[in-house]
């Protein structure tokens, strides 16, 4: 064909113009190119995701034929439909932004069409449309879709040059492809083969394979006949060996290296494996392939060997069959390692990003876990994988409080109803069954629990609990909440590090890539944040947003989104909307979101887990790891234990780390309030930085940081622009007469690790730092005008700064009274932040709670009071609060409120137990939320407390202890608070044989307590205690 004379080409072109339909095809093709060029011309003025969305819409054949090609369609209708389709794929971007960017494309399009004589009229229509105001346009009549003639296929605007030969290969191989035996479709194998062919291997002999392959196959299929076709077929056969080498090198490097080891009888140090080696058991083992594939592999090898020694005589039919055999062989080799290849091709390009995650974790450990000068320990030595979390009851799962209250009022008539034979309704079924049980004279139940009751309890959902990393893997989609410094970021970064390390060690393990993103740097959209998180070395990520969306939906990424509470306040609504959309539209996407407790999470429809505080053993282990010698660690541990409040501070990892840092250099004893702890710690950090070289004077640095903290907190932003930081520093320096260069100061505090630098965006290294400096900035303002705190008290993001401010003031009584009046929960937090709270302040808080009018108080007021009670840890106040709410019929949402207010710390545990004892029979209305909150925190006794043998303790912790129907509930006081444990009568006898020392009086007390709750109060916590 290429050798035809020019006059013949001219004649053929004239004939083609006469053929029906061809001019229309050419016109559509030219128009499509104009649209494509317009999009490219406007690319630098478009958001990357908008650019990609426009390209996708343009490729939709049905859309092009309905709206673009029929030039009679009004421009506005075409524009609105284009906009609608883009909006459907980019719901997170405002419509006006999309409209403006699409107008930019149409402006470029108008210029292109006006320059083409065939489309001048359409160009003028678009120009007039862009110049007209929206009011000038009248609604247009809908246009019926125009069905294209069957003889006029519309080519893709960006037709892939490989499509023709790939389609031909697929067509030739389809009849012989044994899909059922291989477990892979031909199209999937061919697509994977082409991806692997283009992927660089780092071997100069193997790279460039894709170009050689494409040229050889296209020459054979389209550009040859006769003897030339035979030559091109020979070129194709020579691709067999490099293809097998590439596949094996990418999919199984160890096996590939093993093939390069010299055989025993080889006398040279270098050995290049032959095609026979790749065919054998150490390679692809074609003898074990399906029959048709094994036959094709033998023929492909034969033709490759014959062409290696010359040009054989071969018929056209043999050549066609040989081409198919060659492709069947290469495609089967690809499909054999499909899982490994897919993983490798996806993971290997992200090695630099994975290395960034590893280094980010190591830097996090150096900054937040180790002491100065400590060497980086191994993963096992850090013991971070031992952090645990428990699930909270989902919203809407609590019992109907009003139904429980009514059941309580009617309980006295239950026996009469049983006598008349009335059937209980579903809401009272459990209670009626309990009351229907008969008792013997001793008060014990006759026989075991009924099957019906066991079925009733079995349907209740079990709340999950476990190690944080195990929950990430097992649950897959969850929210992890905790207070500041409890380990949310550390847990998330450690998980990202472990996943990255695993993938770097083995990119073929079919494990999703971790995508760690800090939500405090959220600016325009969630997708912009995610693509920015993939940056390496400060270079802007060019990763296609639509591709990232697709890969997330396919489960190729696990999203680790840190700090939902740190999203700027003016962006929170948009961020929540995008997260809800992401969760709803991507049911298989794995993601973990961390947040503090004061963020509404119900709309996300994800299970919520609360990070547990450190246990006693974890605190001791932390101290031993961080102090220079064991004796020092034990001395410091005894110092903390002498004051229960200091020991409780240590249950927060960040506060424990600060206590250690301050304790190592303590002068004048340990701090008395949390605000003082932060002040001493910040001073320690500044002294450390001053020892390294010249710094801004400490008092000036503290003042400027306080101003940055206050103003950024006031604006509701955890992150802020570099320009904003410069402006704050400049303004404050001018007010105070400081000779400080703004840019240099910001660089200095970033080097001090007080601010985190993310290019043009900055943030305090930890939100607790911002809260402390905001409290410092508020302090001098409060001392000048005490009324300044009034508008801040009801704002959630000012809660912790107010608590810290209370700890920083020399005379905090006036501030305490202001907070106590409006925010009792914050007042309780203030007292909890003190090592020795004053008795009169505690009594004032008690009186504030007792004076609540439960009839008139708002739901929000009652929630704050319940939270204050749990912080105080007062069981009497909790019992009274619940009784009053029941009396005034104010129990709506009580389950969720208890779950949110329950901290899991010893005061809350003690308050719940005391309240259950005092409530007695009336506890029925609150049984599920109270006990559920209590028992997800249940920690079994230590071996020395009940003389458990270690194997038995492990068995109990694994929950594989078989508990019979009749149980005994033991309430065991210990030095760390009250502990609950369930023992069955039969199991108790077997445990006695295992040296479990349970005193007789304790057995009697446990049995009596159990009978009281079960029989007298008609109270059934079996299902809850067995969670």
Residue pLDDT, tens place only, 818-829: 999 889 989 998
- Asked whether the predicted pLDDT for residue 326 surpasses 80, the reply is yes
Q: pLDDT band for position 24 (50/70/90)?
A: low
Q: How far is CA 287 from the centre of its chain?
A: 45
Looking at residue 423, its pLDDT comes to 41
Mean pLDDT of the region 945-963: 35
Q: What local confidence, expressed as pLDDT, does residue 475 receive?
A: 87
Position 934 scores a pLDDT of 52
Cα–Cα distance measured from residue 344 to residue 507, given in angstroms and rounded to the nearest whole number: 5
Between residues 179 and 445, which one has the greater pLDDT?
179
Is the separation of the CB atoms in 872 and 907 below 8 Å? yes
Q: At 901, list the tokens.
A: 């207010």
pLDDT at 900 over 90: no
**pLDDT above 90: residue 487:** no
Q: Which pLDDT band holds residue 323 (cuts at 50, 70, 90)?
A: very high
Q: What is the mean pLDDT of residues 498-507?
A: 91
Instruction: Give the burial string for 207-239 (b: 16+ CB within 10 Å, else e).
Output: eebbeebbebbbbbbeeeeeeebbebbbbbbeb
Residue 731 has pLDDT above 70, yes or no: yes
> Confidence class of residue 1 from pLDDT cuts 50, 70 and 90?
very low
Q: How confident is the model at residue 630 (pLDDT cuts 50, 70, 90)?
A: confident
Compare 657 and 737 and report the one with higher pLDDT.
737
pLDDT on residue 903: 66
User: 82 — phi, psi (to 5°)?
Assistant: -60, -50
pLDDT of residue 332: 94
Q: Give the residue-averaged pLDDT of 54-67.
A: 71
Q: Is the dihedral of CA 205, 211, 215, 216 positive or negative?
A: positive
| Banded model confidence at residue 707, pLDDT cuts 50, 70, 90 | very high
Helices (H), 715-837: 722-736, 742-751, 767-784, 799-808, 813-822, 824-832
- Span 839-851, pLDDT tens digits: 899 899 999 999 9
Mean pLDDT of the chain: 75
CA dihedral 106, 109, 111, 112 (to 10 degrees): 180
* % of the chain surpassing 70 pLDDT: 71
Binned at pLDDT 50, 70 and 90, residue 976 comes out as very low
How far is the C-alpha of 524 from the C-alpha of 137, rounded, in Å? 32
Is a pLDDT exceeding 50 seen at residue 454? no
pLDDT digits (tens, 9 = 90+) for 555-590: 899 999 999 988 888 888 899 999 999 888 888 888
> Collapsing DSSP states into helix, strand and coil, what is residue 287?
helix
Q: Which residue has the tokens 């109990």?
A: 956
pLDDT digits (tens, 9 = 90+) for 333-346: 999 999 999 999 99
Long-range contacts for 233-238 (Cβ within 8 Å, ≥24 apart)? 233/303, 233/314, 233/319, 233/322, 233/323, 234/307, 234/311, 236/323, 236/326, 237/300, 237/303, 237/304, 237/307, 237/322, 237/326, 238/304, 238/307, 238/308
- Spatial separation of the C-alpha atoms in residues 257 and 269, rounded to whole Å: 14
pLDDT of the residue at 725? 92
pLDDT tens readout for residues 866-898: 889 988 888 889 889 988 888 888 888 777 787
The mean-pLDDT minimum among 40-49, 194-203, 680-689, 987-996 falls in: 987-996
Tell me the per-residue pLDDT of 129-168, one tens digit each, with 9 for 90 and over.
887 644 444 433 333 332 333 333 323 333 344 568 888 8
Domain ranges for the chain, please list them: 6-136, 164-336, 346-377+471-528+563-612, 632-670, 695-806, 811-937, 941-1025
Cα 259 off chain centre by: 41
Q: Which residues of 780-794 are buried (b: 16+ CB within 10 A; e: fewer)?
A: eebeeeeeebeebee
The region of weakest confidence among 108-112, 781-785, 981-985 is 981-985
pLDDT digits (tens, 9 = 90+) for 668-696: 567 888 888 889 888 888 888 888 888 99
CA nearest to 899, candidates 857, 872, 928: 928
Lowest mean pLDDT of 271-280, 545-554, 750-759, 943-952, name the range. Answer: 943-952
Structure tokens at 665: 């250099």
Q: Is 358 exposed, middle or buried (0-12, 13-18, 19+ CB in 10 A)?
A: middle
Q: Are 201 and 251 in contact (CB under 8 A)?
A: no
- Pick 1012 or 720 by higher pLDDT: 720
Secondary structure of residue 758 in the 3-state scheme: strand
pTM of the model: 0.66
Instruction: Tell me what pLDDT residue 125 has.
Output: 83
Residue 152: its pLDDT value, please? Answer: 31
- Per-residue pLDDT at 992 exceeds 60: no
User: How many whole angstroms separate alpha carbon 190 and alpha carbon 170?
Assistant: 8
204 burial class (0-12, 13-18, 19+ CB within 10 angstroms)?
Answer: exposed
Instruction: Provide the pLDDT for residue 417.
Output: 41
Give, in order, the Cα–Cα distances in Å from 918 to each of 853, 880, 883, 923, 1020.
Answer: 22, 9, 10, 9, 17
Which residues are CB-neighbours of 669 under 8 A, at least 6 positions away?
none
d(CA 104, CA 40): 11
The count of other CB atoms within 10 Å of the CB of residue 1011 is 17
Give 876's contacts (C-beta < 8 A, 6+ positions apart). 914, 915, 918
Q: What is the pLDDT at residue 354?
A: 92
Say how many Å lie between the first and final Cα of the chain, rounded: 78
Strand order in the sheet with 465-467: 465-467, 388-391, 608-611, 477-481, 590-595, 557-562, 513-518
Six-digit token string for 34: 């104009």
State pLDDT tens for residues 80-135: 888 888 888 887 788 888 888 888 888 888 888 888 877 888 888 888 888 764 44
Residue 106, pLDDT score:
87
Alpha carbon 285 to chain centroid, angstroms: 42
**327-338: average pLDDT:** 93
**pLDDT digit string, tens, across residues 596-628:** 877 878 788 888 888 888 888 888 888 887 777
Task: Please write the tens of the pLDDT for every residue from 469-485.
Answer: 888 888 889 999 888 88
Question: What pLDDT is recorded for position 22?
Answer: 46
* pLDDT tens by residue, 344-356: 999 988 989 999 9
Residue 981's pLDDT band (cuts 50, 70, 90): very low
b/e code 150-159 from CB counts within 10 Å (16+ = b): eeeeeeebee
pLDDT at 790 over 80: yes
């Amino acid at each position: 064909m290429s050798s035809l004379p020019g006059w013949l080409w001219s004649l053929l072109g004239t004939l083609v113009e006469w053929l029906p339909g061809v001019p229309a095809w050419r016109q559509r093709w030219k128009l499509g190119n104009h649209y494509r060029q317009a999009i490219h011309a406007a690319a630098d003025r478009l958001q990357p995701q908008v650019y990609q969305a426009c390209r996708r819409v343009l490729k939709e054949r049905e859309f092009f034929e309905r709206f673009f090609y029929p030039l009679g369609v009004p421009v506005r209708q075409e524009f609105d439909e284009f906009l609608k389709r883009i909006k459907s794929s980019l719901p997170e971007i405002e419509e006006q932004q999309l409209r403006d960017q699409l107008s930019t494309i149409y402006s470029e399009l108008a210029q292109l069409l006006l320059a083409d004589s065939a489309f001048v009229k359409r160009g003028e229509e678009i120009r007039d449309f862009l110049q007209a105001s929206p009011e000038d346009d009248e609604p247009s009549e809908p246009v019926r879709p125009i069905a294209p003639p069957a003889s006029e296929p519309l080519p893709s605007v960006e037709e892939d040059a490989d499509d023709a030969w790939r389609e031909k290969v697929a067509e030739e191989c389809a009849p012989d492809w044994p899909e059922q035996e291989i477990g892979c479709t031909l199209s999937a194998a061919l697509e994977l083969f082409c991806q692997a062919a283009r992927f660089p291997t780092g071997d100069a002999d193997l790279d460039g394979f894709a170009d050689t392959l494409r040229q050889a196959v296209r020459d054979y299929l389209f550009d040859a006949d006769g003897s030339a076709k035979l030559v091109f077929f020979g070129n194709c056969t020579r691709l067999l060996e490099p293809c097998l080498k590439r596949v094996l090198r990418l999919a199984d490097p160890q096996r590939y290296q093993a093939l390069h080891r010299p055989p025993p009888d080889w006398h040279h140090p270098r050995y290049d494996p032959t095609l026979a080696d790749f065919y054998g058991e150490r390679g692809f083992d074609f003898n074990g392939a399906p029959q048709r594939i094994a036959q094709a592999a033998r023929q492909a090898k034969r033709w490759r060997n014959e062409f290696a020694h010359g040009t054989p005589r071969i018929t056209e039919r043999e050549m066609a069959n040989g081409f198919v055999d060659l492709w069947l062989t290469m495609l089967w080799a690809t499909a054999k390692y499909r899982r490994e290849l897919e993983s490798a091709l996806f993971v290997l390009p992200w090695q630099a990003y994975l290395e960034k995650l590893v280094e980010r974790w190591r830097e996090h450990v150096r900054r937040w876990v180790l002491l100065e000068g400590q060497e980086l320990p191994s993963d096992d030595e850090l013991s971070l994988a031992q952090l645990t979390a428990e699930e909270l009851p989902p919203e809407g799962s609590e019992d109907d409080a009003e139904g429980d209250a009514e059941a309580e009022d009617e309980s006295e008539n239950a026996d009469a109803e049983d006598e008349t034979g009335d059937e209980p309704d579903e809401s009272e079924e459990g209670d009626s069954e309990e009351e229907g049980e008969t008792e013997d004279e001793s008060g014990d139940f006759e026989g075991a629990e009924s099957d019906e009751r066991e079925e009733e309890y079995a349907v209740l959902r079990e709340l999950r609990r476990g190690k944080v990393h195990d929950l990430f893997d097992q649950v897959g989609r969850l929210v992890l909440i905790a207070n500041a410094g409890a380990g949310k970021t550390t847990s998330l970064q450690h998980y990202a590090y472990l996943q990255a390390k695993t993938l770097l060690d083995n990119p073929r393990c079919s494990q999703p890539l971790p995508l760690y993103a800090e939500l405090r740097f959220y600016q325009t959209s969630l997708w912009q944040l995610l693509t920015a998180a993939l940056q390496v070395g400060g270079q802007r990520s060019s990763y296609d947003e639509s591709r990232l969306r697709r890969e997330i939906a396919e489960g190729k990424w696990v999203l680790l989104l840190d700090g939902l509470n740190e999203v700027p306040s003016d962006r929170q609504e948009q961020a929540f909307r995008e997260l809800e959309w992401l969760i709803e539209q991507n049911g298989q996407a794995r993601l973990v979101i961390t947040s503090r407790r004061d963020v509404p999470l119900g709309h996300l429809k994800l299970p919520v887990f609360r990070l547990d505080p450190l246990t006693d053993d974890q605190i001791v282990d932390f101290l031993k790891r961080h102090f220079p010698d064991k004796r020092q660690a034990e001395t410091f541990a005894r110092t903390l234990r002498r004051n229960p409040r200091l020991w409780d501070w240590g249950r927060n990892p960040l506060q424990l780390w600060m206590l250690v840092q301050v304790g190592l250099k303590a002068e004048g004893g340990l701090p008395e309030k949390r605000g003082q702890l932060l002040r001493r710690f910040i001073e320690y950090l500044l002294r450390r930085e001053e020892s390294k070289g010249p710094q801004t004077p400490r008092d000036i640095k503290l003042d400027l940081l306080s101003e940055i903290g206050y103003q950024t907190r006031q604006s509701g932003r955890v992150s802020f622009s570099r320009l904003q930081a410069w402006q704050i520093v400049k303004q404050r320096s001018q007010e105070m007469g400081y000779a400080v260069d703004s840019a240099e100061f910001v660089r200095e505090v970033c080097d001090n690790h007080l601010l985190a630098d993310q290019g043009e965006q900055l943030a305090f290294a930890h939100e607790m730092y911002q809260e402390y400096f905001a409290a410092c900035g508020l302090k001098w303002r409060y001392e000048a005008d005490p009324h300044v705190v009034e508008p801040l008290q009801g704002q959630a993001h000012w809660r912790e700064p107010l608590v810290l401010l209370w700890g920083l003031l020399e005379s905090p009584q006036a501030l305490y009274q202001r907070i106590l009046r409006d925010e009792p929960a914050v007042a309780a937090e203030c007292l909890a932040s003190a090592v020795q709270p004053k008795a009169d302040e505690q009594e004032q808080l008690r009186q504030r709670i007792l004076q609540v009018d439960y009839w008139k108080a708002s739901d929000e007021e009652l929630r704050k009071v319940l939270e204050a009670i749990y912080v105080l840890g007062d069981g009497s106040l909790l019992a009274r609060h619940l009784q009053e709410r029941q009396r005034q019929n104010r129990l709506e949402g009580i389950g969720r409120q208890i779950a949110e207010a329950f901290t899991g710390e010893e005061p809350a545990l003690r308050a719940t137990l005391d309240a259950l004892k005092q409530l007695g029979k009336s506890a029925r209305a609150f049984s599920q939320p109270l006990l559920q909150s209590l028992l997800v925190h249940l920690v079994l006794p230590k071996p020395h407390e009940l003389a458990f043998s270690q194997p038995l303790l492990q068995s109990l912790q694994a929950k594989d202890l078989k508990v019979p129907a009749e149980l005994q509930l033991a309430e065991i006081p210990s030095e760390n608070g009250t502990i609950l444990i369930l023992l069955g009568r039969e199991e108790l006898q077997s445990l006695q044989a295992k040296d479990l020392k349970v005193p007789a009086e304790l057995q009697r007390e446990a049995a009596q307590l159990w009978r009281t709750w079960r029989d007298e109060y008609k109270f059934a916590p079996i299902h809850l205690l067995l969670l």
